[in-house]
């Protein structure tokens, strides 16, 4: 701006401060005053992104992660059948399920959480998904069919297929896999409460998804969930102890198994309406609940999710005995609001919630989902959140969630979509074996274990687009190098995508795109 005499006058400066102060940004968010934030910062009349397209792609991604015999309607056509003898060595059928990320191991713990979150997405927002609902249900069923196989024997759960150390020593397509497909299980003698309770949560949540469309399948899922939860509760212990050399450091349980017991009981309470589970929660809730300041929600730690799930029973069904869970959930919300009292969340300069350097996007997607879900519960009960003297409305929560999703889709300093295949600019070199190596169609010959590392270490873009995959994301300074070797930032995972499905369904609907 050209200088002028008026620009330096005190009156003009005062006028300028008064005009711009409401729009000061803290970490990319409008700061004071909150009344203005709530009255003016609602959804604009136009959508920054095509949420419907992103929703379609976020679900399509799961087809790229499928293990087993692929169906005739497989849309991610560069993938082929794989892992067709999984479990055979132990005389058990463990064909199917999902590869969790960019490797070829089937880890039961994150697979169950992925299934729970896909189911929760459909339970809360499936009514808004229109034609994508069937695809979302197929993605859930691919998970639950496998979990039913893994829990077929009473008091036993098969929790992993594949030797992760040996798998990681190779860079090969799942279709070429020749690393050991060892099978690992938990049972009465070697318990794994966290995996068992998460599996019960997944089966219970999915039973609600199929209740109307496939009642017999729904019943089978719920019966199994009840049995598996009983096993989880009766035989307590962490699978990270008994299977330490197998599951650590990949999917070690760091948060303990108490959160999964509360989470599993909350899902069974919601799916069965059996007062037994409410009694269980009331008896054990204090013991199972972690510190209220434990604000992580992801494949390992379910405390926040369980509290929000239980808060619905208080908010919407008026179960007074669960009123404390609204308080817990409110505290979590207050921790996220930039500039509000009790705020503790960290954001990048571009406004992205930043929890940790490894696969940070899982916390962004899960938090966005929780914000939209809690906004729904609050709106239904005509309630708000109090952060100190500040009132936070459902609209504020939706605004923050939308900002996070928009960042993922390209509204960020890199101008890059962190969803592969969405928008004009997205990661080209994701840490994913099948995506990075030539497909069976273009290269039918087997690619040996170590032969793929030439490609892994190259700068060439991945030949197969893993459409819809959300990668680990940028660093604390909004930087993203797009290097295949950088698994912390460049690797996709099923549990990053699962909560985003629900968030995108809500946004697509609210902007009239569905």
Residue 68 has pLDDT above 80, yes or no: yes
Closest CA relative to residue 208, chosen from 227, 194, 225, 195:
225
Q: Is residue 19 part of a domain?
A: no
pTM beyond 0.85, yes or no? yes
Three-class secondary structure of residue 82 per DSSP? strand
482 is catalytic: yes
Burial annotation 81-107 (CB, 10 A radius, 16+ → b, else e): ebbeebbeeeebebbbbbbbbbbbbbb
Beta-strand relationship, 385-387 and 29-30:
unpaired
DSSP classification of residue 287: H
- CA-to-CA distance for 347 and 241, rounded, in angstroms? 35
Would you state the structure tokens that stand for residue 323, as one six-digit string? 């009123």
Three-state SS sequence of 441-496? CCCCCCCCCCCCHHHHCCCCCCCCCCCCCECCCCCCCCCCCCCCCCHHHHCCCHHH
Pairwise CA distance, residues 369 & 367, whole Å: 5
Question: 415: how many CB neighbours lie within 10 A of its CB?
Answer: 10
252 pLDDT more than 50: yes
How many residues does the structure list for the chain? Answer: 514
Gap between the Cα atoms of 260 and 236, Å rounded: 11
Give the CA count within 13 Å in the CB-facing half-sphere of 5.
0
Q: Is the pLDDT of residue 113 over 50?
A: yes
CA-to-CA dists, residue 482 to 260, 274, 488, angstroms: 34, 49, 11
Q: Which of 328, 431, 432, 509 is an active site residue? A: 431
C-alpha dist (Å) from residue 459 to 311, 322, 453, 483, 486: 48, 54, 12, 8, 12
Name the active-site residue from 103, 260, 300, 482.
Answer: 482
Q: Please give the mean pLDDT across all residues of the chain.
A: 91
Q: The tokens of 446 are what? A: 């087997």
* pLDDT above 90 coverage of the chain, percent: 84
Is residue 205 within 8 A of residue 116, CB to CB? The reply is yes
Backbone φ and ψ for 185, nearest 5 degrees, come out as -135, 160
Q: Interhelix angle for 303-315 vs 361-381, to 10°? A: 10
**CATH code assigned at 101:** 1.50.10.10
Q: Is 436 within the bounds of a domain?
A: yes
Measured CA to CA, the distance from residue 265 to residue 258 in angstroms comes to 11
Greater model confidence, 16 or 130 = 130
Q: Identify the pLDDT of residue 401.
A: 98
Residue 10: inside a domain, yes or no? no
Identify the pLDDT of residue 221.
Answer: 98
pLDDT digits (tens, 9 = 90+) for 412-455: 999 999 999 999 999 999 999 999 999 999 999 999 999 999 99
pLDDT of 291: 62
Domain annotation covers residue 66: yes
* 124 phi-psi bin (left φ>0, alpha ψ -120 to 50, beta other): alpha
Query: Where in the sequence is the domain holding 83, given as residue range(s)?
Result: 51-510
Query: What span, in angstroms and rounded, lies between the C-alpha atoms of 429 and 485?
Result: 9
User: For 202-210, what is the mean pLDDT?
Assistant: 98
Q: How many CA atoms lie within 13 A of 144 on its CB side?
A: 30
Residue of 407 and 294 predicted with greater confidence: 407
The verdict on residue 154 lying in a domain is yes
Is the residue at 138 inside a domain? yes
Could you tell me if residue 22 is inside a domain? Answer: no
- Work out the angle between the directed axes of helices 494-510 and 108-125 (0-180°, nearest 10): 10
Which pLDDT does position 475 carry in this prediction?
98
Q: What is the pLDDT of residues 335-379, one digit of tens each?
A: 999 888 889 999 999 999 999 999 999 999 999 999 999 999 999
| Structure confidence by residue, pLDDT tens digits, 381-420 | 999 999 998 999 999 999 999 999 999 999 999 999 999 9
DSSP 91-106: T------B--SSSS-E
Number of domains making up the chain: 1
Under 8 Å between Cβ of 259 and 290: yes
Nearest to 252 by CA among 302, 291, 299, 202: 299
C-alpha 202/C-alpha 97 separation (Å) is 13
Q: Has residue 201 been placed in a domain?
A: yes
Q: What beta strand segments (E) does 72-134 contain?
A: 106-107
Please report, for residues 121, 276, 321, 380, 392, the alpha-carbon distance to residue 318 in angstroms, rounded to integers and kept in the order given.
23, 18, 9, 11, 21
**Structure tokens given for 146:** 């496998």
491 is catalytic: yes
């Amino acid at each position: 701006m050209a200088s002028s005499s008026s620009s330096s006058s005190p009156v003009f400066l005062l006028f300028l401060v008064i005009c711009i102060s409401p729009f000061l940004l803290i970490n990319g968010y409008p700061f004071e005053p909150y009344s203005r934030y709530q009255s003016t910062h609602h959804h604009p009349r136009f959508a920054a992104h095509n949420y419907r397209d992103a929703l379609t792609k976020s679900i399509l991604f799961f087809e790229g992660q499928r293990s087993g015999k692929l169906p005739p309607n497989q849309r991610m056509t560069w993938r082929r059948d794989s892992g067709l003898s999984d479990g055979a060595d132990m005389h058990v059928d463990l064909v199917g399920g999902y590869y969790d990320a960019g490797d070829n191991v089937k880890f039961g713990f994150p697979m169950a959480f992925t299934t729970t979150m896909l189911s929760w997405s459909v339970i809360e927002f499936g009514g808004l998904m229109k034609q994508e609902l069937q695809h979302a249900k197929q993605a859930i069923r691919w998970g639950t069919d496998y979990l039913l196989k893994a829990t077929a024997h009473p008091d036993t759960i098969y929790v992993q297929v594949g030797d992760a150390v040996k798998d990681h020593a190779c860079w090969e397509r799942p279709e070429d896999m020749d690393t050991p497909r060892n099978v690992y299980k938990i049972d009465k003698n070697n318990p794994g409460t966290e995996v068992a309770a998460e599996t019960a949560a997944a089966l219970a949540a999915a039973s609600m998804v199929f209740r109307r469309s496939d009642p017999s399948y729904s019943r089978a899922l719920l019966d199994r969930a009840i049995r598996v939860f009983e096993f989880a509760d009766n035989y307590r212990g962490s699978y990270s102890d008994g299977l330490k050399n197998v599951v650590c450091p990949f999917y070690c349980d760091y948060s303990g198994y108490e959160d999964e017991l509360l989470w599993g009981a909350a899902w069974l309470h919601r799916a069965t309406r059996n007062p037994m589970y409410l009694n269980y929660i009331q008896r054990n809730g204090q013991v199972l609940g972690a510190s209220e300041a434990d604000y992580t929600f992801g494949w390992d730690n379910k405390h926040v999710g369980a509290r929000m799930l239980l808060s619905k029973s208080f908010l919407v069904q008026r179960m007074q005995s669960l009123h404390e869970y609204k308080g817990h959930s409110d505290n979590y919300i207050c921790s996220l609001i930039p500039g509000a009292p009790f705020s503790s969340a960290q954001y990048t300069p571009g406004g992205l919630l930043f929890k940790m350097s490894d696969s940070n996007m899982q916390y962004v997607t899960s938090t966005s989902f929780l914000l939209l879900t809690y906004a729904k519960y609050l709106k239904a009960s005509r309630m708000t959140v109090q952060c100190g003297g500040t009132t936070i409305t459902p609209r504020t929560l939706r605004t923050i969630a939308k900002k996070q999703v928009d960042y993922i889709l390209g509204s960020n300093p890199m101008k890059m979509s962190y969803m592969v295949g969405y928008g004009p600019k997205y990661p080209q070199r994701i840490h994913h074996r099948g995506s990075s190596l030539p497909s069976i169609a273009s290269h039918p010959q087997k690619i040996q274990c170590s032969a793929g590392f030439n490609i892994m270490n190259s700068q060439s873009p991945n030949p197969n687009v893993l459409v819809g995959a959300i990668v680990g994301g940028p660093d604390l300074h909004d930087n993203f190098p797009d290097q295949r070797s950088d698994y912390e930032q460049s690797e996709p995972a099923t549990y990053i995508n699962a909560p985003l499905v629900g968030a995108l369904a809500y946004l697509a609907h609210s902007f009239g795109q569905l």
